[in-house]
Amino acid sequence: MNVPDNGARITADLLVVGGGIAGMTAAIEASEMGLEVVLVEKEPFLGGRVAQFNQYFPKMCPPWCGLEINYRRLRGNDKVRILTLTTVDQASGGPGNCEARLTIHPRYVNENCTACGDCAQACPVDVPDEYNFGLSTRKAVYYRDMAFPPLYVVDPALAGDPRLQACRDACKYEAVDLAMQPVTVTVQAKGIIWATGWQPYDANKLDTLGFGKFPNVVTNVMLERLASAGGPTEGKIRRPSDQGAIGKIAFVQCAGSRDANHLPYCSGVCCAASIKQAQYVREQYPEAEIHLFYIDVRTPGRLEDFYAGAEKDAKIFFHRGKVGEIREAANHNLIVAAENTLTGKVTEMEVEMAVLATGMVPNTAQERPPLDTPLDEWGFVGSSASGVTGAGVASRPADVAASVQQATGSVIQALLAQRR
Ligand SMILES: Cc1cc2nc3c(=O)[nH]c(=O)nc-3n(C[C@H](O)[C@H](O)[C@H](O)COP(=O)(O)OP(=O)(O)OC[C@H]3O[C@@H](n4cnc5c(N)ncnc54)[C@H](O)[C@@H]3O)c2cc1C
């Protein structure tokens, strides 16, 4: 994990951009085929979105089950060079001969760090925690559950704040180094795998569904953090307005998805994600009523069993209905209005909290990959012709199992592209 020297040139078979489950898989599989890989992640830690979840469907195991295996395969793997806090500034060339200029942004914490946490304890600066979608704060010097690499990081926006000298002084290993500078390196590779993943569709754009206006309307990704032991409520799902218990909750499927005005496609994971989250609520509140409003339930392949299991639960109710409006009632309760997509009949229900099941938007829709890589109409990476091959959700909406399979295939695709 050592940072290369400024100006260094690195030669590799593949450059993998994005250190989520797909990028890690591509890097590991390529290395196990004997290839030299540089794996680049823009955040301070690997893991991507999966690290933010409470549990995975369909097995309902915690994310470290899958992540830890990958971290173990990366630890001591001398064929994968991992660069965190790194971005690709520019790339040139094509299949078989790509050159990329990278910036490695400073961590302000060096390899002496033992993750003891003394720096964070001494840190006087608190900021909203983006990882918890602003539902809590974090220190300017921070660490994450399941962090890989296991090193603290100083928020770059605050590294110049004189108050952070207290963090440096608290570290008995001299690991906090606020004078660190960015490093620029060049990677010469035969191909690039682009695994930059997704972000949630912006629920603020769904102006009739009350997100951002009514405190008890949250999104599915926020619910993952609310249910997670490392999240803002230490895993207790409470409604945000008063931290109250949940007696009745609604899940709003296709919130912005399959909608020409928002995301025209189906992300393919939101129905299973809501069924998973219904189980989180169910475990914490055995008496709670859970109402799931859907256009149609999409749980392909083996996920059908997962759905069938939830259907048997006497407290989970599935309603055919497209939710058109959420209003606020007394005590910050919510009125959810849904139209039955077959009969046209509109029904209203009062609940204490509503979860918007928003879909996945590929990061490539906003930040195009280099080398004029073709994208499809929704912004997913199209073909490998440019020398850049998409992997995971950068190439299509997918769950973890499909992302892993697709990422393994992307290595072959990247190798084939070099021969054309
Ligand atoms: C609410 C919700 C719940 C879900 N629950 C489940 C579940 O229980 N089970 C399941 O199988 N699937 C689930 N999914 C789907 C799952 O999240 C995806 O399959 C998975 O995240 C895909 O991994 P990825 O590596 O392609 O992308 P990501 O997880 O998004 O990882 C991409 C990585 O690339 C990095 N990156 C981005 N841009 C750059 C850049 N320019 N340079 C360098 N690095 C960059 C990011 O920081 C990130 O680390 C869920 C999805 C949603 C919406």
Instruction: Give the number of other CB atoms < 10 A from CB of residue 172.
Output: 10
Q: Residue 202 Cα, ligand 1 centroid: separation in angstroms?
A: 16
CA-based Rg of the chain, rounded to a whole angstrom? 23
Structure tokens at 349: 């229900």
From 56, 269, 274, 395, the mutation candidate for ligand 1 (largest count of ligand atoms within 8 A of CB) is: 269
Q: Residue 99 Cα, ligand 1 centroid: separation in angstroms?
A: 26
Residue 358: its pLDDT value, please? 98
Question: Distances from the Cα of 118 to the Cαs of 26, 123, 144, 175, 180, in angstroms?
Answer: 36, 9, 15, 11, 20
Is residue 149 reached through a cis peptide bond, with omega within 30 degrees of 0 on the bond before it? yes
Q: Name the residue among 191, 224, 228 with its Cα closest to residue 93.
A: 191
Q: Residue 51 Cα, ligand 1 centroid: separation in angstroms?
A: 9
Instruction: Give the number of other CB atoms < 10 A from CB of residue 235.
Output: 15
Q: Residue 174 Cα, ligand 1 centroid: separation in angstroms?
A: 34
Residue 374: its pLDDT value, please? 94
Q: Name the residue among 172, 174, 176 with its Cα closest to residue 141.
A: 176
Q: Residue 400 Cα, ligand 1 centroid: separation in angstroms?
A: 8
Measured distance CA(12)–CA(223) in Å, rounded: 40
**Nearest protein Cα to ligand 1, atom 3:** 273
Residue 417: its pLDDT value, please? 83
**Nearest protein Cα to ligand 1, atom 5:** 273
CATH of domain 202-358: 3.50.50.60
Structure tokens at 241: 């307005």
In the chain, residues under CATH classification 3.50.50.60 are 9-198+361-419, 202-358
**Nearest protein Cα to ligand 1, atom 48:** 48
Q: Residue 222 Cα, ligand 1 centroid: separation in angstroms?
A: 14
Q: What CATH number does domain 9-198+361-419 carry, 3.40.50.620, 3.40.50.2300, 3.50.50.60, 1.25.40.80? A: 3.50.50.60
Taking the mean position of all CA atoms in its chain, how far away is CA 319? 29
Sheet bearing 346-351, strands edge to edge: 322-328, 334-339, 346-351
Q: Does the beta carbon of 49 lie inside 6 Å of ligand 1? A: yes
What is the mean pLDDT, run by run of 10 residues, along the chain of 420 residues? 90 98 98 97 97 94 91 95 98 94 98 97 97 95 93 96 97 97 97 97 97 98 97 96 97 96 95 97 97 94 91 94 96 97 94 98 96 94 89 97 96 86
Return the HEC string of the chain: CCCCCCCCEEEEEEEEECCCHHHHHHHHHHHHCCCCEEEECCCCCCCHHHHHCCCECCCCECCHHHHHHHHHHHCCCCCEEEECCEEEEEEEEECCEEEEEEEECCCCECCCCCCCCHHHHHCCCEEECHHHCCCCEEECEECCCCCCCCCCEECHHHCCCHHHHHHHHHCCCCCECCCCCCEEEEEEEEEEEECCCEEECCHHHCCCCCCCCCCCEEEHHHHHHHHCCCCCCCCCCCECCCCECCCEEEEECCCCECCCCCECCCCCCHHHHHHHHHHHHHHHCCCCEEEEEECCCCCCCCHHHHHHHHHCCCCEEEEECEEEEEEECHHHCEEEEEECCCCCCEEEEEECEEEECCCEEEHHHCCCCCCCCCECCCCCECCCCCCEEECHHHCCCCCHHHHHHHHHHHHHHHHHHHHC
Is residue 300 reached through a cis peptide bond, with omega within 30 degrees of 0 on the bond before it? no
Residue indicated by tokens 């009125």: 335
**Quick one: which atom of ligand 1 is closest to the CA of 48?**
49
**Phi and psi of 18, rounded to 5°?**
110, 120
Give every CB contact of residue 183 below 8 A, 6+ residues apart in sequence: 3, 4, 5, 6, 8, 103, 104
Structure tokens at 5: 């020297």
**Nearest protein Cα to ligand 1, atom 15:** 399
**Quick one: which atom of ligand 1 is closest to the CA of 357?**
1
Instruction: Give the number of other CB atoms < 10 A from CB of residue 310.
Output: 22
Structure tokens at 340: 């039955």
Measured distance CA(68)–CA(80) in Å, rounded: 16
* Amino acid in position 82: I
**Quick one: which atom of ligand 1 is closest to the CA of 219?**
1
Measured distance CA(191)–CA(317) in Å, rounded: 49
Residue 301: its pLDDT value, please? 87
Q: 100 with 93: CB under 8 angstroms?
A: no
Residue 384: its pLDDT value, please? 80
Q: Residue 345 Cα, ligand 1 centroid: separation in angstroms?
A: 37
Whole-structure pTM value? 0.96
* Amino acid in position 21: I
**Phi and psi of 211, rounded to 5°?**
-70, 135
